[in-house]
A and B are shown apart, each in its own frame.
Chain A
Amino acid sequence: MTERTRGGTLAAVLLVLAASWGVVLAGVTALREPLGRGDYVAIWGVKARALSRTGDVASLFRLDPEGAVSHPEYPPLWPALLALASGAVAGRYDDLAAGTLWPLLALSAALLAGRAVRGPAWARAGAAAFVALLPYWRIYPGYAEGLLAVLLLAAVGELDRLDENPAATLRLAAFLVLACWTKQEGAVAAIVASAGLLLAGRRKAGLVTGLSSVAFGILPWLLVLVLRGPGISRADYVFWRASLGKLATASEALLSLALLPNVAWLLGAGALLALAPEVRARRRGLLFGAAAMAVLLLGATAWTRLDPTWLVRWSWDRLAFLLVATLVPVFAEAASEPFRSET
Chain B
Amino acid sequence: MSRKNLPPRARRLAAGALFGSALMTLLLAARPDAPLSVSLSLGRKFWRAPERSRLLNAPFLREDPEFAFAVTAADARWPLEVDVVLTLPPAIAGETAEKQRRAAALVLSPRRVLLERGSPAEGRFGLRPLPRSGP
Asked if A and B are interacting partners, one says yes
**Residues of A near any B CB (own CB < 8 A):** 15, 18, 21-22, 25, 28-29, 31-34, 36-37, 41-42, 45-47, 49-50, 53-54, 58-59, 61-65, 69-70, 90, 92, 94-96, 126, 129-130, 133-135, 138, 265, 268, 271-272, 274-277, 331-332, 334-339, 341-342
The 4 closest A-B pairs by CB, nearest first: A335-B19, A50-B110, A36-B59, A32-B43
- Other-chain contact of A58, B1, B3, B61, B135 (Cβ < 8 Å): B135
Q: Is the CB of B33 within 8 A of A138?
A: yes
Per-residue interface assignment for chain B, residues 1 to 40, with 1 indicating a CB less than 8 Å from any chain A CB and 0 otherwise: 1110010100110111011011100110110110010011
Q: How far is the CB of B134 from chain A (nearest CB, A)?
A: 6
B46, CB-defined interface residue at 8 Å: yes
Closest residue on chain B to residue A22 by CB atoms = B30
Q: Which residues of A contact B103 (CB under 8 A)?
A: 41
Any A CB within 8 A of the CB of B58: yes
Candidates B3, B27, B36, B109; contact of A50 at CB < 8 Å: B109
| Complex contact A275–B29 (CB within 8 A) | no
State the Cβ distance, B98 to closest chain A Cβ, in Å.
Answer: 8
B1, B112, B134: the one contacting A271 at CB < 8 Å is B1
Judged by DSSP, the binding face of B is: helix
A33 touching B58 in the complex, CB below 8 Å, given contacts A54-B80, A276-B15, A342-B8 = yes
* B132 (CB) vs chain A CBs: closest residue: A62
Contact between chains at B27 and A274 (CB < 8 Å): no
User: Chain B residues with Cβ under 8 A from A50's Cβ?
Assistant: 109-110
CB pair A63 B36 closer than 8 Å: no
Contact B51 A94, beta carbon cutoff 8 Å: yes
Tell me if B15 and A272 are in contact (CB < 8 A): yes
Within 8 A of A (CB), among B82-133: 98, 102-103, 105-106, 109-110, 112
Q: Among the listed B12, B30, B42, B109, which residue makes an inter-chain contact with A25, where contact means beta carbons less than 8 Å apart? A: B30
Q: Given known contacts A28-B36, A65-B134, is B30 in contact with A126 (CB within 8 Å)?
A: no
**Which chain A residues border B2 with CB–CB below 8 Å?**
274-275, 277
A21-B27, A25-B32, A41-B60 given; A33·B46 CB < 8 A:
yes
Given the known inter-chain contacts A59-B110, A94-B51, A95-B54, please indicate yes or no for A126 contacting B23, CB distance below 8 A: yes
